[in-house]
Chain A
Amino acid sequence: MKKILWSCLAIVLAILGLLGLKTYIDYQSGDHVSGDKVLNFYNWGDYIDPDLLTKFTKETGYQVSYKTFDSNEAMYTKIKQGGTSYDLTVPSDYTVQKMAQEGLLEPLDHKRLTGLGNYDRQFMNLSFDRGNRYSVPYFWGTLGILYNSKKYSAQDVAHWDDLWQPKFKQQLMLVDSARDVLGFTLISQGKSVNDQSDADLAAAQGKLTSLMPNVKAIVADELKMYMAQGEANVGVTYSGEAAQAMQNNPDLRYLVPSEGSNEWFDNLVIPKNAKHKDAAYAFINFMSKPENAAQNAKYIGYATPNKKAYDLLPAAIRNDQAFYPKQATLDRLQVYDSFDKTWTEKYNDAFLAFKMSRP
């Protein structure tokens, strides 16, 4: 008995020791910066060129504490609970709309924003945030088709409907997201990605179920790894993920079907309970500068909404229609509206029914 007690005590002591060590290391590495000259930045993982953070600190004197999240929902929950205060975060379009509706965002004072004129007009004043009251776009992209050019040509996958061809049997990989998969099905039927009609949704679900024989797997972030390894020849995914897969496998190509697709935006916003608003404004202005936005776009590989930064990019990037589609396609892109609980669930249940259907 005594032996057990002693070993318990030893374990507790070891844990306390490790905790103390961790606090010390955190303190030393300046991970927990406090004081006034600080920016608490809550961003997606690996979503900024780290050199820009150093440059920002050098130029403005603000220390950046960089924390990351991996989904809009995770970020939303954390901001809503309000345990930690962040000064700047990067929600996608529909999440901006949802957070603004719930009063979680600080309205932007446009007089304090110096670089708004640099942005492309067609990426401003969008349906999820009219007049850019709460948000400034950070990156934008599309949903499209990633394919292996050694097996198929661009003609094979030029339209969403092409995915239903029998020759793609057991070849497709889809991203595990209800709105994206139902979205492209709705577009293929000439409907809107924000369709809120039970009949249209049921029709889309029916059409989607007939796609099942072609579907090899429905996966999340792993899609880019599988595609790069040649596990599947055709995949439906986001432009940013496609860019990373193409870096690892030069045979891959990405295209946006000409009948349209979803267009997404990640945006800089200031949460309502931010403590260092000056720092947040300074950072938004810093990122609006063409040379900084261009450097970031080159590093991340996503498309920049900053017109002047776009002009600074090398011609090879600017003329890449996969990531900067031509105007005719751009005009047909649709942004997701934020759905209420009922419709979020209707879409999810339709998607679940599709996933559970057997070919």
Chain B
Amino acid sequence: MSNPKTLFDKVWESHVVDTIPDGPSILYIDKHLIHEVTSPQAFSGLRKRGFQVFRPEKTIATADHNVPTVNQHLPIQEELSRNQLSKLTKNCQDFGVKLYGLGHKYQGIVHVIGPELGITQPGMTIVCGDSHTSTHGAFGSIAFGIGTSEVEMVMATQCLLQKKPKKMLIEINGDLSNGVFSKDIILYIISKISSSGATGYFVEYSGSTISSLSMEARMTICNMSIEMGARGGMIAPDQKTFDYVKNRKFAPKEKDFNRKVSYWKTLVSDNNAKYDKVLQFDAKDIEPMITYGTNPGMGMKISETIPNFPPEGSKDSFAKSLDYMGFKPGTKLLNKKINYVFIGSCTNSRMEDLRIASRYVKGKKKAKEIKAWVIPGSKQVEKMAIEEGIDRIFTNAGFEFRQPGCSACLAMNEDKIPKNQYCISTSNRNFEGRQGPGSRTMLVSPLTAAVSAINGYVSDIRNHL
């Protein structure tokens, strides 16, 4: 082949409207997802300019960041949150944008509902004013987070000005050990390359380990691409992808679907396609992971000790970070007492996550002194969990099974971890104060969260299988 292309090249090139010399490209956007927090200023901008939303049918809104996770049928108590949500409703009405608001059967975390409704499809360009938009890359789409000015840009023109990023291939081969999940894979990679190791790049994940993963597990990996600085991460679509998309609400139907599949099958990197950087990992080196610091790059195998020396990329912040966490270099986290367990967020709140965690929890009781929250990613996940009896497994074990939203991942609503309290969390960021002012977060997989909730301390699932 004369000019071999990567998966990223293929999708990117099919969306370039024009390229400005010594400047960015004009990139056409197929789907624009919006939510209450990063859209109000963009709508105000449109009003000021006297513009409409150019392609409202390609724009989908939901309420997630700011919503309470209990009593969603009642008026929201917090005034600012209530105001932001009512602004979203009014803006969507005024501009003709479809909204899955609070109480709607499709409401949920924006990166959970996109795939489950079949809005997310291979080969698309998808943006949202949220950095975890990278999640949708699991379908072989170019999906990334944007700022509010860019949200306004897409509303006004269905296009974005973007410089083509560099390309990185991350290949993982081999079988995963017992108790190791996709969350552990991505935490492992980030711990190896640091929280800025992929800045400036768009990542493609491949290899036998990735192929063996379910769609939901792949979403967890792509979701956290931004935590190593990458704008996004993508995985070539395969039969699992097509089967997942098929028959979903907004998926193409019948003949149209078959036609799309034959196009989607071309969305693989050509042999000898060039990447700016290639990294390879072996699945057998990966163990259940946990973070000990205040960025996702500060992670280790759960059986290890906190390093005595700063890891690459956290030299100046290492001491400050450990001081914030109340940890000492050279110590273990295993058996460390915890206060909260949070199972949720766009990283790990899908059916598979809840099934894995509930299977372990079934018939057991959580440790008395801790609080444990399970927040399903969407109304549809919530409904399915109730149908399967998963909600009762959790509540019988003393967990709270709440209503869908971003919740304690970023603590915009009432779900906050108090100062100096330790939270074992399936979310994506362990930044200072992320889960509430002074909160101390340790990122883990849903199964590690489940076993730690039962024991009341940081636990290695492999000792309990």
A binds B: no
Binding site for A on B (CB under 8 A): none
Binding site for B on A (CB under 8 A): none
